[in-house]
Chains A and B, each alone.
Chain A
Amino acid sequence: MNIPLVSPAIRGIEFNADMIFVTAKAWILSLLGHFLPDWVVVLASITISGVVILCLGPVIMMYLTLLERKLIGRIQNRYGPNRVGKWGLLQPIADGIKMFTKEDIVPAKADKVVHLLAPIVIVVPALMLFLVVPFGERMTAVNLNIGILYFIAVSSITILPIFMGSWASRNKYSLLGGMRTAAQMISYEIPMTLAVVPAIMMSQSLSTNTIVMSQEGPYDMHWFIFTPWGIVGFIIFFLCATAECNRPPFDLPEAESELVAGFHTEYSGMKFALFYMAEYMNAFTLCGIATTLFLGGWQGLFFPSWLWFFGKTFVLICVMIWFRGTFPRFRVDHLMGFAWKFLLPLTLVNILLTALWQFTSNLAAWLWSILILAVSLWVLVKLNRTFIPEKRHYPLES
């Protein structure tokens, strides 16, 4: 008997590179559908997505570390890792083995349970964030209609495990790092959330899929970033995302030169690796969401949708790495000032601008929005004199 490998319901899908993953999943499911009852197929569908995400997270994290070390190496005129495997491609695996074989040290006076829980708790929200990221057309794991709300809610959980870890370590450096984290992340949540609002307003949806879809247009280049409010929103969102995942120049919680290693001073081995993993996965998802919101998600010409998405996300990650290779760190009070006195007012102006943009969007709109932005920027810079470098004069005497 001839069993059809592809069920008739799936046949309708065009078999092309764009849909390769979607088709593959559908094919597996249809194959299972031949032998097993329906509820198993539904379960399998969930499991496949889950397994893919669970594998994707760590793999992305591993190769992000490699990418970061390579890029920073090149920025500093070095090679970066190039010993394990060709171009150091096996370096993350070597690092993983090293992490697993390291002794797991728990300070004698630490709160053992919380100390153990913190790295586990931090990875969970980082993985949960992957659910709503649209990796490509029809490639969102769970197409929530409140996707962005879910993203904002889950991403803010990260503060908790960091503070848990820092508190449980009973180390003063950790404690300072934890306090800094709490202050920093709560402050940067606000401008980040407000920076998302324009995108939601324009797409009139909280679903990540719909937001991407609303950026469709001629030549697939009708991205939100090509509007004045889009570019401002994107920059604010990106800066806040950098601060949210504790990356330089906002890496105060782990400030190496001040607090040794900040909140993970007392962590070693795999627990430390989990903190690291969460940080990199957060960096990836935040860049992914930034892509979704402002860079048109999977929209793009010629190439498959998932390639566009990953390409855009990796460009953003490279910019984060570039920041790390260039900037000195902020100081606590400057960091807070930057969030509350500069970014927050700017997001409010931006929301206003978006509201106006909905009524008129033509060349004149461009002009007056640039005017409004320039004026508000000028006012903000004038109000924030501490951010402006003083001019110094250095006499040369004999």
Chain B
Amino acid sequence: MTIFGWGVFKGMMVTLKNFLTSYFRKPDEGGIFTVQYPEEREKELENFRNFPFLVYDGTPEKIRCVACGICERECPPKCIHIEMELDGTGKPARKPAVFDIDYSLCMNCGMCEEVCPFDSVFMDHAFEVTSETGSEGLVRHKEALLKSNEYFQKIRPALASTIDQKRKAAEEKKKATVQATPPPAAGAQAQGPQ
């Protein structure tokens, strides 16, 4: 038979041990595990996903997105709105004129990132998103969503470098085919965005 009160005593010893170890142990070994947020931050993990952003190469004009609208269609809470930019002749310019994401609706699922065939939409790491005007202030327009490839390289190096390699390979392949048989549309398209 155990002594009456022994369980209570053992419990108190556990809390006492934790009280004492909190003063000298490291966070990983039973010490204080609080991260004091604004001053200290946890290590940013590469795969962490928050809200989507758009990638551009070099300058903001060279946007990867071609306004195909796949992400708009597949977004589960329907928080993306895209409008195609039209060039002077009224033909689609394969570039978004409007690209809005409503951050108040977005549920950070990463679907847009997965379905995008042009490696244009990716999930950001910036999680400190606030607005003073409620949900209207959380609609992000194209200008705010555009971020450079360098930024992408910085936050998710592994993914960005594989995608860069992939794009490079595709470009070289395309160049090779273009050099072999230059279709007439290729030249027009190259001039299009200017």
A residues contacting B by CB (< 8 A) are 71, 74-79, 322-323, 325-327, 377, 381, 387-389
Contacts and interface: CB of A to CB of B under 8 A. Distances in A.
A327 B32 contact: no
A79 B32 contact: yes
B149 interface: no
Contacts of B30: 77
A388 B4 contact: yes
Contacts of B31: 77
A75 B18 contact: yes
A74 B19 contact: yes
16 contacts: A71-B19, A74-B19, A74-B22, A77-B21, A77-B22, A77-B33, A78-B34, A322-B12, A322-B19, A323-B12, A326-B11, A326-B12, A377-B4, A381-B4, A387-B4, A389-B7
Interface in B115-162: none
B194 interface: no
Interface in B18-46: 18-19, 21-23, 30-34, 36
A78 B36 CA distance: 10
Contacts of B34: 77-79
B94 to A, nearest CB: 52
A389 to B, nearest CB: 7
A76 B18 contact: yes
Contacts of A381: 4
Given A77-B30, A77-B33, A79-B34, 15 more contacts: A71-B19, A74-B18, A74-B19, A74-B23, A76-B18, A77-B21, A77-B22, A78-B34, A79-B36, A322-B15, A322-B19, A325-B19, A326-B11, A387-B4, A388-B4
Interface string B69-111: 0000000000000000000000000000000000000000000
A75 B31 CA distance: 10
Most chain A CB atoms below 10 A, which of B11, B15, B16: B15
B8 interface: yes
B36 A77 contact: no
